[in-house]
Amino acid sequence: MSKTIAGFSKLSKSKKIEWIANTYFENAENAKTVLKQYWNDNEKLQQLHDEFIENTISNYYLPLGVAPNFLINNKLYAIPMAIEESSVVAAASKAAKFWLDRGGFKTTVISSTKIGQVHFMFKGDSKNLDLFFKAIKSKLISDAKPITKNMEARGGGILDIELRDKTTDIEDYYQLHVSFETLDAMGANFINSCLEHFAKTFKHEALQFKSFSEEEKHIEIVMSILSNYVPNCLVRAEVSCNVEDLTENKTISGKAFAEKFVRAVNIAEIEPYRAVTHNKGIMNGIDAVVLATGNDFRAVEAGVHAYAAKNGKYSSLSHAKIENGIFTFWMEIPLALGTVGGLTGLHPLVKLALELLHKPSAKELMQIVAVAGLAQNFAALRSLTTTGIQQGHMKMHLMNILNQFEATDAEKVILVEHFANNPVSHSAVVDAINNLRKE
């Protein structure tokens, strides 16, 4: 029976597991065995993993795959992808090979500005607040120098601070809206430290500002926090080729395929139900690389989906057109990534993944990640508009079903051969396993 516990975080890992296993599992010994079998035999490495988060009881593994043959701005990459979904790595690899022979992917970082905000309440005349902000702006920046000097030495730092009046939305609500350049760091800690320093200076100086009434001097700071919405931290990725070179499928012409592909993208641009699944496919590629390189995929997801709805309606992130006989498929997407800080210098596999990618800068990683998303989207749309999504997906899913039913190696060989020329479905695989075992 479940029960509460005091001081759980102070228990040793083995004591935590003991309590978890005995409290929540019918077979406590089996639960302990499963948790412990994922521990790393290297004690130093296991300790490193234990200290990434609180209350660790085991490691949770995802497969790390590689999609080779990505030609990005005339440079070849093998892209690491950490993901559990079957067919994602295969689809990305197939798209990479397709575009390798057609000039590869072209990418550009449009901008790399990140945003943080100090949210505060001010009761008084907005004109007085504006005067105060203009008087204090330079001091906000100078007072933060101990935090920003190292970033500035590398070419980054605070780009601007704006005062934003939000009182039409919430009474007495204003913001300090701050833009940053954080270079190769994702910059969350740097930005949040700056914002909290701004808030402290802002509140302190308000008490000294002579033009304020007594009520106006008492500004209430609500919170100081970076934003994961980064519409000005933007990268573009695209592919293009002559329409007649667009297909390897002899049953459909390049022109017919291009037209059908563009229509599929157009549907995702106007239909939110389709756009969500369409964009989820893009994120299959993006999240896998973001995770493999030790970045925050939750922040990326939040920012990307907000960007997809920036015009007031959720829409496709990617776009396609046919113009003067040229097919072009592209995407502009916000990605706030880092190649220093966080797990990038701690997790051994993250360090390996970044070295595999030629030790990219943050801007280079933005381009690689965007390409992985575009490639994934291209592969999905190519399947959807020709053979259908299930043919390739279910063949990749076959091994998962066989493992679910504990197929032996010999059974796998026979069944993989059988389904090479037969439709794969869960029920068909179950029937085939049962028939094979009866024989």
Q: Catalytic residue positions?
A: 85, 280, 296, 393
Cα–Cα distance, 231 to 228 (Å, whole number):
9
Q: Judge contact between 197 and 147, C-beta under 8 A.
A: yes
CA proximity to 334, closest of 106, 81, 96, 113: 113
Structure tokens at 166: 């939000």
Nearest to 224 by CA among 202, 245, 206: 202
Q: Which uninterrupted H or E stretch holds 142?
A: helix 126-143
User: 80: which residues sit within 8 A by CB, 6+ positions away?
Assistant: 64, 65, 66, 289, 292, 293, 352, 353, 356, 357
Nearest to 78 by CA among 89, 87, 67: 67
Kindly state the tokens that stand for 89. 């790595």
Which uninterrupted H or E stretch holds 195? helix 188-208
For the range 100-103, what are the long-range contacts, defined as Cβ-Cβ under 8 Å and sequence gap of 24 or more?
100/69, 100/70, 100/71, 102/239, 102/241, 102/245, 103/71, 103/239, 103/240, 103/241
In this structure, what DSSP letter does residue 344 have? Answer: G
